[in-house]
Chains A and B, each alone.
Chain A
Amino acid sequence: MRVRIPGLYIVLGLVLAGLIHIVAVLTLPMLAPKSAHARLATLGPANAMIELPAAAPGRQIMPLMAPDVRYAFCRFDLTNGPVRLKATVADELWLIALYTPEGENFYSVAGADMKRAEIDLVIAAADQTVEEAGVDAPESSDDVIVVNSPVTEGIALIRAPLAGPSRATGAERALRSTSCGPYTKSG
């Protein structure tokens, strides 16, 4: 015996499936099991540079972390003003990237693309102004990089890819000398 499903129900089902699909795509990110931002928030305070332990079996803060990259991050919070990130880039392989809490990478700079080894990055919200010698004067503007952040809370992540296992200690030492904290006008 064949059951005949009226065409109307098939059309209705497809339209309904389409609507449910759209709602699901828009809500699934919010039902994320554990976002990277939430994982990193358990490791320490905001506006401080924190090194991630080298990825090893059973000891990974985030899934699919690179075992041959050393990471340090700063969970920035611009509520009380801009945040400054300072680092001496030890290697042209280094990458500094800024993220929204949803994991959107809105800014990045590679060690190889920097003119100087010392990077001085000020993260500011759209309504915050950064008065700094060198920012207004174009000729010395590569001293301080001001990045406008679309979010008041986010993540700065420094990656130090290793050129070999013997480089791990050096990379970890270099990452320890990076800093992140509330921005105060430098003299």
Chain B
Amino acid sequence: MRSLAYFIGTFVAALMLGIGSAWYMIERGSPLTTTKVGPWSGWISEGNPNADPYTKAHVARSGRLPLTSTVARYFVARTDSAGRTLTSACEYSVEGSPLNARWWSLAVYDEYGGLIENPSARYSFNSEEALRHSDGTFRINLSSKARPENWLPSGTADQHFVLLLRIYSPRETDASGIGLIPGDRLPKIERKECE
């Protein structure tokens, strides 16, 4: 009787551990498949036909058609640089350095990957639009209220949001031809006031 309970317990625990770990490694990635730099996380072999099973599963489940990582890199941030979840209840300052690529764009989405309604119909800033300082650096102000410089509205409802930095045609590549974006080039996300 006791061994049956152990057996069932073992099976249930194995089921939860097996499926849970698979789900997490596919949705969020792991050191095997993703590079993490501060708040940013990017899949190393995204879109690549020779990618590992985790990356392939991630792409197939995403409902997206990402460019292969030799042509473009995508980095997602769900938290600020201090690790706190991004929320429209707070204001953020996104400070970036020049990126060595043909084109890049920083866009804001809700948790499900949908664009967030706002009166100025502004959903992103790209390399051609963002106002930059004389040294090539830029600052994007994420806020629910209008802000000077590059204002990216983060939605009025108290909700979590994500940032996606898409970088097309990076000019540097690593040994396997994957677009190389040095970690210190990815923008810092600093939290300002909160409501």
Contact = CB atoms under 8 A, between A and B. Distances in A.
A17 B21 contact: yes
Contacts of A17: 13-15, 17-18, 21
Interface in B95-125: 102-103, 105, 107, 109, 112-117, 121, 123-124
SS class, residues of chain B in contact with chain A: mixed
Contacts of B65: 36, 62, 97, 99, 103, 105, 155, 157
Interface residues of B, number: 57
Given A32-B60, A67-B107, A102-B60, A21 B18 contact: yes
Interface residues of A, number: 60
Given A102-B56, A112-B169, A63 B14 contact: no
A159 B126 CA distance: 15
Contact of B61 (A13, A33, A110): A33
Interface stretch (B66-74, B85-93, B135-143): B66-74
Contacts of A29: 56-57, 60-61
A164 B26 CA distance: 35
Interface in B5-46: 6-7, 9-11, 13-15, 17-19, 21-23, 25-26
A138 interface: no
Nearest to B52: A25
Interface in A112-155: 112, 150, 155
A159 B124 CA distance: 16
5 contacts: A13-B11, A20-B22, A64-B109, A100-B49, A102-B60
Interface of B: 6-7, 9-11, 13-15, 17-19, 21-23, 25-26, 47-49, 51, 53-54, 56-57, 59-68, 71-72, 102-103, 105, 107, 109, 112-117, 121, 123-124, 126, 128-129, 164, 166, 168-169
Interface of A: 5-6, 9, 12-14, 16-21, 23-26, 28-29, 32-36, 39, 55-58, 60, 62-69, 92-93, 95, 97, 99-100, 102-106, 108, 110, 112, 150, 155, 157, 159, 161-165
